[in-house]
Amino acid sequence: MVYLIVLTLIISLLALFAVIILYIRQNRLFHIEKRYKQLNDELEASVSAFIIEMKEENEAFINKIKQLQSSDKKNETIEPVNLNIERNGKDTVEYGTDYQVLTVSPPLFAGIKEYQKAVKQTTDIPEKETNVRKEDQSEAQSAADSDLHKIKQLLNAGYSIDEIAKTLHKGKTEIELLIKFSPDFFN
């Protein structure tokens, strides 16, 4: 009879211990999800700030181009040109002065032409180089998938981000970024 009471007590303690462990894991997962959402919000805020900054820079660039186009008309200069030289005698020379309009136009589309040249040069890549790049990309993708799989296993095992970073010999930030940019962790 005493053995049954002791056995029941041990089983109750094991069940209580299992409940505590499950609660801790669930709590950890909840905190990771909360941190993921917080990092996602921060990322969205930084990307939107970057987009707003780019929009302002583009507007300033467009205004500058408009100013250059309007200043084309202002850049017309009038310079006197001596066209007629007449000799009326041995000592007297008369200069007839005519005015000629010289236009000075800045190279408005020089930047666009340079950009088009650069794009053309980058699009003229031989096929061998593109095949090598595709192979490198597929190798990098498979390595990243392997790392993600390992990280997912370690997270499910209850490891912290620091422990995962030490186990995989990677930085803590790198692990956080892999988790952050892999939404399949929490689906």
Query: DSSP strand E in 26-166: where?
Result: 77-87, 93-102
Measure the CA–CA gap between 170 and 172, rounded to whole angstroms: 7
Query: Bigger pLDDT: 33 or 69?
Result: 33
Q: Are 98 and 84 in contact (CB under 8 A)?
A: yes
pLDDT digits (tens, 9 = 90+) for 149-166: 888 889 889 999 899 999
Backbone angles phi, psi at 126, to 5 degrees: -60, 160
Q: What's residue 28's pLDDT? A: 94
Residue 180 has pLDDT above 60, yes or no: yes
Domain residue ranges of the chain, discontinuous segments joined by +: 125-187
Residue 132 has pLDDT above 60, yes or no: no
Q: What's residue 83's pLDDT? A: 47
Between the alpha carbon of residue 178 and those of residues 25, 54, 148, 174, the distances in Å are 21, 27, 7, 6
Average pLDDT over residues 105-126: 62
Average pLDDT over residues 14-22: 97
Using only C-alpha atoms, the chain has a radius of gyration, in whole angstroms, of: 37
Query: Bigger pLDDT: 56 or 120?
Result: 56
Q: What's residue 104's pLDDT? A: 47
Q: What's residue 140's pLDDT? A: 66
Average pLDDT taken over every residue of the chain: 77
Percent above pLDDT 70 for the chain: 61
Q: What's residue 179's pLDDT? A: 82
pTM score, whole prediction: 0.32
Percent above pLDDT 90 for the chain: 35
pLDDT digits (tens, 9 = 90+) for 62-101: 998 888 888 766 655 545 544 445 555 555 545 555 555 5
Number of helical H runs and strand E runs in the chain = 5, 2
In whole angstroms, what separates CA 130 from the centre of its chain?
23
